[in-house]
Amino acid sequence: EAGVTQFPSHSVIEKGQTVTLRCDPISGHDNLYWYRRVMGKEIKFLLHFVKESKQDESGMPNNRFLAERTGGTYSTLKVQPAELEDSGVYFCASSHRTTAFEQYFGPGTRLTVT
């Protein structure tokens, strides 16, 4: 069974540019989560999809971040325009609907904003 995959693995962009991160969850997992780790701090929750619906987006830092999960399969996280403080590692995780707390994480996307 394939795990959670994320693309790209690393992105370097300039301040003000746009970046789109992609996450492909484990097949059959209704739950999809985005987290990020900034500046070596703790890993923080961003948002949670159940299928294509946003269940909880309380962790989204501001309206420069837009997450979508059209069709309830893969998800994208767009940052527009990117700021320096957005640099960090963005993790995606997925879980089965009956065991939502058992979340399987992808390798992360390291975003560097210069």
Partner 1 sequence: SQQGEEDPQALSIQEGENATMNCSYKTSINNLQWYRQNSGRGLVHLILIRSNEREKHSGRLRVTLDTSKKSSSLLITASRAADTASYFCATDEVRGFQKLVFGTGTRLLVSP
Region near partner 1 per CB under 8 A, out of 11-19, 21-29, 65-73, 89-97: 89-97
Q: Judged by CB under 8 A, does residue 49 bind partner 1?
A: no
In sequence order, the 6+-apart residues with CB closer than 8 A to the CB of 62 are: none
Q: Is 61 in the site for partner 1 (CB under 8 A)?
A: no
Pick from 79, 75, 21: which is nearest to 53 by CA?
75
Contact criterion met (CB below 8 Å) for 20 and 92: no
Q: How many residues bind partner 1 (CB under 8 A)?
A: 27
User: 81: cis peptide before it, omega within 30°?
Assistant: yes
Residue 107 contacts partner 1 per CB under 8 A: yes
Tell me which residues touch partner 1 (CB under 8 A). 4, 31, 33, 35, 40-45, 48, 55-56, 59, 91, 93, 95, 100-108, 110
